[in-house]
Amino acid sequence: MDHSIQLVVGLGNPGKDYARTRHNAGFWVVEELARRHGGEFRDEHKFNGRVAKATVAGVELRLLEPLTYMNRSGLAARSLMDYLKLTPEQVLVVHDEIDIPVGDLRLKWEGGHGGHNGLRDLNQHLGNQYRRLRVGVGRPPSKAEGIDHVLERPGKAEQVILDDAVQRAADAIEQVMREGMEPAMQALHSKLKNETESE
């Protein structure tokens, strides 16, 4: 069992206007984890977010949806981390990623922000040693359209793909909790490679 992950942060923007936009893929995943494991989100103003508890593979996880808007996600994550006395290595962040095809998933140990404003703020508050689960939302035709792309709602066909990706993302996090990052990464990435080669 991997007991190191104790906080899963889903990135997104609060409010109905943003709820179904691509940028909120992180919210969708932590909400699915809460649904599966009996967690209930509550507004926690002292942590600038909505927080749920969920026991996964025998470990009590905190699930966090920052209510600070994407560009200040690190503020919420840092406040809850400090309260729980966690290190960045005990945090897994789930976020949308335009550099990955729609519906593909990637687990990653650490790294830069890659132009993602939520990760940029997290890196400022946490450093870059936290774990990441990236949910592919595809690249827009023009680089300049990136912000518009993530703040738009996907079409029906794309939403079906993303809904499936949310289920697989929750599966991947469960595997991380049961077996650790490395086995979960190998399972996720080898499956992706096999699917790509069979196309």
Catalytic site residues?
Answer: 23
**Residue 144 has what pLDDT?**
60
DSSP-assigned states of every residue in 93-142: EEEEETTS-TT-EEEES----TT-HHHHHHHHHH-S-SEEEEEE----SS
All domains of the chain in start order, with CATH: 7-198 (3.40.50.1470)
pTM over 0.75: yes
**Residue 27 has what pLDDT?**
98
**Residue 159 has what pLDDT?**
97
Contact of 176 with 5, CB cutoff 8 Å: yes
Q: Bridge partners of 60?
A: 55
pLDDT digits (tens, 9 = 90+) for 70-123: 999 999 999 999 999 999 999 999 999 999 999 999 999 999 999 899 999 999
